[in-house]
Amino acid sequence: MDTNNEVQKSNKNETVPIPDPLIDKILFNKYKLLKKIGKGSFGNIYLSKEKDTNEYYAIKIENKNTLINFLVNEANMLLYLNCPKTPSIKSFGYTNNYNYLIMELLGKSLEDIFENILQKKPMSLRCVCNLGYQMIDILEFIHNKNVIHRDIKPDNFLMSNGDNKYLYLLDFGLAKKFRENDNSKHFPFIKGKKLTGTARYASVNALNGDTQSRRDDLESVGYVLLYFLKGKLPWQSLMIKNKEERYHKIMEIKRDISTCELCQGCPEEFQKYFDYVRKLEYEEDPDYNMIKSLFINILEKNEFKFDYYYDWDIKLTINDCNNFNNNKQITDKNNEDKYMNNFDMNRKKEIDDENSFDLPLDKIYYRKKNRKKKRNKSQDKSTADGAGEEVENDNNSIEENLIQNHNDCCIII
């Protein structure tokens, strides 16, 4: 009897997932939401299919009734940057309650690959250097556009969808300009700011409350690469519940640890990397070619080359990246087309009409948090505590009318 009671109690304590009412809905009578595939810093991401073309997209949804609309800033930034290694925008839409960003569908994030495919096993030196070179290359591009990302972490680097060969950077909700143009000075240096970014990978300066610049993005990349190379960083798993105290402790560990100790067991080029980026001044121009040459030197010393080599199995990863529902690749349209041809099209139209919704929505339900998560993400969550009104300041962000005036982007209201 006692055993049965314990079983009943345990069943009652189990968290029951709440079905997401957005699944199978039609957005703007055009995009069908198939599945929630991720969560950005400040919004949920859904896999969607365009009815007319049968093409797949990622749709990011943000509640508009928040202090700062980060999705508007992200859309503006992506259009302004027009970077080949950031997701392209299909449409940006908004209503009274929600913002919607419809963009190119990419593959899995490096964090997903590291946790679920590599099972948290450290990556090879060859793989890390191939990733590091691409990360610096992407940062060089956006920095040359006078923009800093401010939330560099493994979750925000995704592999391309399909060939799974190239690296992309996304989630520009916290990005901002560090100066107006190439000929202007940096925006004023301020101390005592709250953290904007992710504590685990944030620079010492960012954790210390200093205004961020290009050097801080570069330092964050270094921590990401060490995380992949070693499997863990020294300041992970701190048992401190108070956020401010935890941030301060992480800052102290990063500040006090020497680059020699931090990069112990790694090629000397990694120590040179941290010695260089940590000594950069607030307004100093980084030498991106020199930084990229460090990764090339490591590859050449080990008789490798920059060749987009990754530890994970390519074919397996392609299937995994394209697999969102019932182990079925979303790019395989043959079976679906065959099924739809045999489907009663009149009934299909009725179902589409029933599932269509013209926003605003009253509620968006999210799945309850699982109390027994395998991974402690207390240090991985992006914070906008220090963002304030920066992303909406005319001097520090891209003008909102850029979206409306962009020829390749459709605005939906």
Q: What is the predicted pLDDT for the residue at 216?
A: 98
Which 8-state DSSP code applies to residue 330? Answer: T
For the full predicted model, state whether its pTM sits above 0.85.
no
What residues does CATH 3.30.200.20 cover in the chain? 12-106+334-368
Mean pLDDT across 309-315: 75
Decide which of 141 and 52 is more confident.
141
> Chain centroid to CA 42: how far?
11
- Of 132, 133, 176, 172, the C-alpha closest to 156 is 172
Q: What is the predicted pLDDT for the residue at 397?
A: 46
Q: In this structure, are residues 48 and 404 in contact, taking their beta carbons and an 8 Å threshold? A: no
Decide which of 354 and 397 is more confident.
397
Residue numbers annotated as active site: 151
Residue with structure tokens 């027994």?
372
Confidence of residue 314 (pLDDT cuts 50, 70, 90): low
Q: What is the predicted pLDDT for the residue at 166?
A: 93
Decide which of 36 and 269 is more confident.
269
Fold of the domain spanning 110-314: Transferase(Phosphotransferase); domain 1 (1.10.510)
CA separation for the pair 199, 383 (Å, rounded): 8
For residue 74, what are the contacts with CB-CB under 8 A and spacing of at least 6? 60, 101, 171, 172, 173, 175
Q: What is the predicted pLDDT for the residue at 389?
A: 52
Q: In this structure, are residues 410 and 91 in contact, taking their beta carbons and an 8 Å threshold? A: yes
CB count in 10 Å sphere of residue 238? 18
CB count in 10 Å sphere of residue 375? 9
pLDDT in tens, 357-386: 333 332 322 223 333 445 555 567 777 776
Q: Where are the alpha helices (DSSP H) in 172-281?
A: 204-207, 214-230, 243-256, 259-262, 268-279
Residue length, the chain?
413
Mean pLDDT across 1-12: 54
Distances (CA, A) of 92 to 20, 66, 87, 109: 22, 18, 13, 23
Confidence of residue 104 (pLDDT cuts 50, 70, 90): very high
pLDDT in tens, 163-203: 668 999 999 999 999 999 998 999 999 999 999 999 999 99
Q: In this structure, are residues 114 and 120 in contact, taking their beta carbons and an 8 Å threshold? A: yes
Check residue 30 and give left, alpha or beta (phi > 0: left; psi -120 to 50: alpha): alpha
3-state helix, strand, coil in the chain (%, to 5): 35, 15, 45
The pLDDT of residue 337 is above 50: no
What residues does CATH 1.10.510.10 cover in the chain? 110-314
Cα first-last separation, the chain? 60
Return the axis-axis angle of helices 214-230 and 268-279, rounded to nearest 10°: 160
Q: What is the predicted pLDDT for the residue at 393?
A: 54
- Of 139, 146, 169, the C-alpha closest to 289 is 139
Round the average pLDDT of the chain to a whole number and report it: 80
For residue 323, what are the contacts with CB-CB under 8 A and spacing of at least 6? 329, 330
CATH of 12-106+334-368, one of 3.40.50.2300, 3.30.200.20, 3.40.50.1820, 3.90.1150.180: 3.30.200.20
pLDDT in tens, 193-244: 999 999 999 999 999 999 999 999 999 999 999 999 999 999 998 888 899 9
The pLDDT of residue 66 is above 90: no
